[in-house]
Structure 1
C-alpha cells in the first residue's frame, strides 16, 4: 500500500484564516512532486495550549507507518514545549515522517539512512531546532496570556474608577472588546458571540470608551 501524505493546520480562533498555511503545504507538495489530497489537510481552529483537538486526534488515528505529515511551522503543532516534544516522539516511535516547513532539516528524507553517523547528526540538529523553536512558541503563548490578563485587569480597573454601570454590558464584554481592539476578531464576530445588534454594539462601544 502506498504511503499517504497528510497536512495539519491550526489557527487559534474561528475568525482566523487558515488559507496561508494550507497554501504553504500545497506549494511544498507541488514543488517536491508529492501528492496530497485537499481532504487530507486537517484543520483545527483552537488554541495550541494542549493537544486535545478534534482534527489533530483524528489525524493520529488516520496515519500509518511510513506516512508523511506536513506542518507549516512548529508552533502550529502546539505551544507547550514539553508536549510538543512528546508528540514528536510519538511520530518517531510510529515511524511516521513529520515535515515542518520552517525546520528545513526535517524536510530531508532520512529513511535512506538505515543507521550511522548521518542519521544521528540529522536527529541531533532537528532536536536542537525543535528545542529552540519550542521554547519560543511556549514563551509567545505565555506573553499572549499575560497581555490578555493585563488588558482585562486594566479594563476592569478603568470601569471601576469611572463608575460605569456593568449590568448593561454583557458579562464577557471586556474580554471580547480586547480581542476586537487587538484585531483578533471582527466587530461582526463580536456581535454574534455576544448576541448584540449593530446599533446596540456601537452604542456600548461608545459608552465604554467614553467612560459614561
Structure 2
C-alpha cells in the first residue's frame, strides 16, 4: 500500500511556489519524492496530465493526499468523479485534516455530503476570484494601463533551466524530466526552449 501526494498551482513557478504544498504533503505521510505528483494547471481543467497519471496509478488500499480540495479540483463535477473513483478502487483520500477512507467499504452519506460541500465552496471561490480579476483588468484598461505579464527574455530565463537544458539537448532527459528538475510546468519549459532558441 502506497501513499501518494498531489500538489497544484494555477499559475507558473514565477508567481506561485508549489514547495509549500510539497512540505505539507510530507507532513501528511508522503515521504517519497517519486510518489509526489505536481503541476501548474487550472483546477477546473479535467485533463491534467499529472493528476490523471496519479488516478490511473493508485490501486486498492493506496492513499492519495492533498492539502485542500481546491488543489485537487475546483470543479464540483470532477470532484464527484474522483469520489466515485475513490469508492470504486477502495482507496483513502486525505485532504488536509479531512480523511475519506473507502478501503474497507462504501463512503458514509455524511462524509460524502461534507466532501461535496467543500467542493462547492472551492468552485465558488474560483468563480469569485475570476470575477474580481476580470473586473480589475477592465478597470486598469479603462485607466490606460497595459494588461498582462512583462515579456520574458533570454536574460530572465531561470538559472535552473540554463543549468539543465544541455542534458535535454543531449537527450539524457525528456521535457517532463527537465520540468521536474527546474520545478516548473511543461508549458513553461516549452516557452523557455522557444525563447532560448532565439539566440
Give the structure-2-normalised TM-score: 0.68
Establish whether residue 98 from structure 1 lines up as the match of residue 96 from structure 2.
no
Question: What is the RMSD of the two structures over their aligned residues, measured on CA atoms?
Answer: 2.4
Q: Name 2:147's counterpart in structure 1.
A: 174
Distance change (3 Å), C-alpha of 1:155 and 1:24: same
Match of 1:140 in 2: 125
Matches within 5 A, 1:14-163: 14-15=12-13, 16-29=16-29, 36-103=31-98, 105-106=99-100, 111=103, 123-159=108-144
* Matched residue, 2:170: none
Take 2:135 and 2:76, find their aligned partners in 1: how far apart are those partners?
Answer: 24
Q: Secondary structure at the match of 1:7?
A: strand
| Counterpart contact for 1:5–1:67, Cα < 8 Å | yes
Question: Which stretches of structure 1, 4 residues or more, deviate above 6 A after TM superposition?
Answer: none
Q: 1:197 to 1:141 in 2, by over 3 A?
A: same
The unaligned stretches of length 5 or more in structure 1 are 30-34, 165-172, 177-189, 199-212
Q: String of CA shifts for 1:43-75, please: whole Å, max 9, x gaps.
A: 011110122111111112221222111111111
Counterpart Cα distance in 1 of 2:20 and 2:111: 24
Select the residue among 2, 6, 9 that pairs with 1:8. 6
Distance in 2 between residues matched to 1:158 and 1:26, nearest whole Å = 46
CA distance in structure 2 between the aligned counterparts of 1:13 and 1:50, rounded to whole angstroms:
13
Does the 8 A contact of 1:10 with 1:46 survive in 2? Answer: yes
- Aligned-partner SS, 2:112: helix
Q: How many residues align?
A: 154
TM-score, reference length from structure 1: 0.64
Give the superposition deviation at 1:132. Answer: 1.9
Aligned residue in 2 for 1:206: none
| Higher-helix-fraction structure | 1
Q: Which runs of 5 or more structure 2 residues have no equivalent in the other structure?
A: 157-199
